Amino acid sequence: MGQRERERVSTGIAELDGILGGGLPSGSMILLSGNPGTGKTILATQFLYSGAAKHGEKVVYVSFAEKREDYLRNMLTLGMDIKALEQKGLFTFLDFMVMDETGTKDAVQMIMEEIGKTGARRVVVDSISVILQSLGQAETRKFLHGFFGRIVKGMGVTTLLIGEIPFGELKTGFGVEEFVADGVIFLKKTKSGSTEMTTLEIAKMRGVPLPRSSFEYLIDERFGGLGLIVFPVRADFPGSRERLPSGVEGFDRMLNGGIFRRSVTLIEGASGIGKTTLCLHFLATCAQKGEKAMLISFEEPSGQTMKMLEDYGIDYKRLGDRFKVESYVPEALTALHYYKLLRDILELEKPTVLALDSLTAIQNTFTQESFVQFMRYVQLLCKEKALTVFLTSSTGRAEAVELPGVSILCDNILLMRYYESKERMARELMVVKTRGSGHEKRVMPFEITEKGMVVHA
């Protein structure tokens, strides 16, 4: 493999660069295609912005679809100040009207002249579909080979060609551009029920081995545009032998002193049995000892949770910023957007202990595939942030954990259930699983009193 083949040009997206072994092959021609609204222009601009702002390279953006002022305004909302780069002579915006065959060839000649005049190292054409439609199918292959295959690549310019895929279609334009290009990247938007996913698929990249080709992404200002969600290959997250007491003495005795720090505990049980109460005891006890505690509810409004604390005699106001409660509507967001929301909350509040109440509300909203996806995101966040976590679920069976993807995630699984005792309904608690520790094997009765949860262990 020659030196030039090994050179890489950053895409401006760290995760995508990592997947590509450092970036796009230098001097390559890449087709970036997708449906309207998938972020093609944003990704292409990140590619140019990285070259100009971070590496001082001259770049050219050729637009057949968007006026300069609209483009500058839209990119600025994502933190990319193109006008500042223009003032430094690093960024050139070429604005063309849709034209016939003669006009298109004149425009392409102007593009070539501009590349030569500026010494640009990166070029984006948005969109190639406009040019190809005016040329017709017979001229398309000649055009791609002639102008971009020889001149642009011959000048060592790394080029992104943006292609439009209309809804309902499976290819860009005539399809030949996908064969001529050195690489093909598709941005896709799919929907399953009420859940929407956006994925980036690397369909082709000459000279780049790809162990995986499809990745979910979000478009957000904190990414500076488009950001991929990439899970680490290795899960090298440290454990801990320190125990955190829950504040419920009988429960702590069942677990030989409490929950291990950085562990994840699932509490299953019927609605109203006391799962949230146990979480509140744990969070409040940790907050009283100086931990930063947080409860994120997908069922109860935050005001209702605060009232529960007051009913149990827990003065949450004295805990101040050490105890936070947030409440969200499960149907409002997709799995990927909940990942972003949770990550933003955790980075802002920086809790050390966290409760998510309840997973069932999320499961009832998402498809099974989306719920498993959500749980992968939760696992990544919890381990990455070294959190001690309580999760609640209303499945409530001892013989099987019914939430897909959860049992592998959890270090501890607890089951709360009702039983009949002397013509009344009573409550009992059992430890189904603990990882790395012994625990009480017996089933223990418990009560919910005016002071909260009491376990008779």
- Whether residues 175 and 260 share a domain: the answer is no
Tell me whether residue 380 is in a domain: yes
Between 144 and 124, where is the model more confident? 124
Tell me whether residue 196 is in a domain: yes
Which residue, of 184, 202, 229, is where some domain finishes? 229
Q: What long-range pairs does 3-9 form, CB within 8 A, spacing at least 24?
A: 5/207, 9/47, 9/51, 9/121, 9/122, 9/158
Which residue, of 198, 229, 260, is where some domain finishes? 229
* 185: containing domain: 3-229
Tell me whether residue 237 is in a domain: no
Span 398-454, pLDDT tens digits: 444 455 556 677 889 999 999 888 778 899 999 998 987 888 899 999 999 988 899
- Whether residues 248 and 223 share a domain: the answer is no
Instruction: Decide: helix, strand or coil at residue 94.
Output: strand
Whole-angstrom distance, CA of residue 397 vs CA of residue 268: 7
- Whether residues 445 and 312 share a domain: the answer is yes
Domain CATH number, residue 198: 3.40.50.300
Runs of H (alpha helix) within 13-154:
14-19, 40-49, 55, 68-76, 82-87, 101-118, 128-135, 137-143, 153-154
- Would you call 163 exposed, middle or buried from its count of C-beta atoms within 10 A (0-12, 13-18, 19+)? buried
- Whether residues 78 and 11 share a domain: the answer is yes
- Whether residues 58 and 124 share a domain: the answer is yes
- Whether residues 270 and 141 share a domain: the answer is no
Count how many domains the chain has. Answer: 2
Is this model's pTM higher than 0.85 or not? no
Tell me whether residue 235 is in a domain: no
**For 12-16, 236-240, 260-264, which range has the lowest pLDDT when averaged over its residues?**
236-240
- Whether residues 206 and 299 share a domain: the answer is no
- Whether residues 167 and 308 share a domain: the answer is no
Span 316-373, pLDDT tens digits: 788 889 999 999 888 777 777 787 888 888 888 999 999 999 888 888 888 777 788 7
- Whether residues 42 and 149 share a domain: the answer is yes
Tell me whether residue 133 is in a domain: yes
- Whether residues 219 and 247 share a domain: the answer is no
- Cα dist from 76 to 47, 186, 225, 242, 291, whole Å: 15, 24, 10, 47, 39
Which pLDDT belongs to residue 12?
A: 94
- Whether residues 98 and 164 share a domain: the answer is yes
Which pLDDT belongs to residue 254?
A: 94
- Whether residues 148 and 69 share a domain: the answer is yes
Which pLDDT belongs to residue 65?
A: 81
Which pLDDT belongs to residue 212?
A: 79
Span 44-92, pLDDT tens digits: 999 999 999 999 999 999 998 888 999 999 999 999 999 999 999 999 9
Tell me whether residue 23 is in a domain: yes
3 pLDDT more than 60: no
Which residue, of 206, 229, 252, is where some domain finishes? 229
Mean pLDDT along residues 110-125:
90
Between 194 and 406, where is the model more confident? 406
Which pLDDT belongs to residue 355?
A: 95
